[in-house]
Chain A
Amino acid sequence: MKYISEYRNPAVAKKLIEEIKEFSKKPVNFMEVCGTHTVSISKSGIRQVLPEHVSLLSGPGCPVCVTANRDIDKAIAIAERSDVIFTTFGDMMKVPGSYSNLAEKKADGADIRVVYSTFDALKIAKNNPDRKVVFFAVGFETTAPTIALSILEAQKRDIENYFIYSVHKLVPPAMAALLSLGEVKLDGFICPGHVSVVIGSKPYEFIAKDYKIPCVITGFEPIDILQSISMLVKQVENGEAKVEIGYKRGVSSLGNTKAQEVMKKVFEVCDAEWRGIGVIPESGLSLRTNFEGFDASKIFDVDVPPTKEPVGCSCGEILRGVKLPCDCKLFGKACTPENPVGPCMVSTEGSCAAYYRYGEVADGV
């Protein structure tokens, strides 16, 4: 799978690679902030076909991986209550908190149910009026509108036993936070396609303007990603920094305004804690005061012991682009997808899992 001849359109791929080789003079680090891009890059072996001085780093692009330990611990504490049915997307089940994970608690008898959408969670709430149904609201801007809708729906249908525990995160503030930290030299961002379907290209503009960093929004095919790299290289070499859209299918500069309205109606922007990064100002979403009654973090006053990170796990550094998965001592040894130590190996879109699955062990970037 590591050969361009296996790309869907090898001629176009070849042309893009040649273009990148021709234009690119300066050594650059580009970061993708989307787990699906990370998977696609690893799967198609893009790193191996790029010139040596063009490096791709994986950023905090997976909502599962960036969920703070404290939030997972609190979610687990809520899930353990006998009056609660805890509902979650499947991705969160095995993500380790400080002391356990949801899957283990379920095995121990807690009523934890995997749902595909908030529809399912609402249905469970309606069918179990004597229980409190809590939905673990994890996700970036792609998912937040769907969860906001469930709150409006619960309100409309007087479902009073439905709550969410919101750990929503916003992508652009995290990109800015990484630039402000200044730990890694970043020369461009490959922006997430499906987050951008909702938010459009505008929210990235301050990154280009204030930080002078080029941004390109792109899709998930190897060709899309190669094209975005070529666009980034051209911007860098021309001394430009602007936001470009390479993903024409579905992304506009304004995004999905209807989805944004729903999101704004229900949520307000708040500071949020990211695993490995810490608190990033205005990077999360919490329920507005008039929806407080649905807020599990206010309704359930759970106390959790101090958090602790898995010993030896470098997820934090990996999420910041400071380390590569293969720099972690446990990678592929004590930590594998079958026996994951940290969240970056649990989630299929986590960097460690993507690198492991597609054999990017020693060659790095």
Chain B
Amino acid sequence: MCLAVPGKVVRLKDSDMADVEIGGIETEVGLQLVSDVKIGEYVLVHAGYAINKIDEEGAKEMMKLFEEIQELDEIAKLSENDEIY
């Protein structure tokens, strides 16, 4: 449950809040724990808050990883359900 996911800041809002795009979905995220976040920058999001800024390259690498994990999960589910194996 310590997993943080990378997201891109798409909109800055009142009282230190921002809309952050995570895996294609926009979520409201608190920016109170990070400084000077700008639109277009990437943050690591955990339990509704940005816990750090992260560079674009790192963010993209991590996003790929999460997509991959999801894909692997799908494969795992398929093979689990497959009685032949």
Query: Chain A: residues with CB nearer than 8 A to chain B?
Result: 1, 8, 34-36, 43, 62-64, 89, 91, 116-120, 138-140, 142-143, 145-146, 149, 192, 194-195, 197-198, 219-221, 248-250, 256, 258-259, 262, 347, 349, 357-358
Contacts and interface: CB of A to CB of B under 8 A. Distances in A.
B39 interface: no
A116 B33 contact: no
Contacts of B28: 119
Interface in B1-38: 1-4, 28, 30, 32-35
Chain B interface extent, by class: 20 to 34
B65 A250 contact: no
Contact of A118 (B48, B54, B72): B48
Interface string B34-64: 1100000000101111011011001101101
A279 B46 CA distance: 28
B46 A143 contact: yes
Given A143-B47, A146-B48, A198-B51, A349 B35 contact: no
Given A34-B2, A142-B4, A197 B47 contact: no
A221 B51 CA distance: 20
Contacts of B58: 248-250
Contacts, number: 104
Interface of B: 1-4, 28, 30, 32-35, 44, 46-49, 51-52, 54-55, 58-59, 61-62, 64-65, 68-69, 72, 75-76
Contacts of A347: 1
B2 A195 contact: yes
A1 B32 contact: no
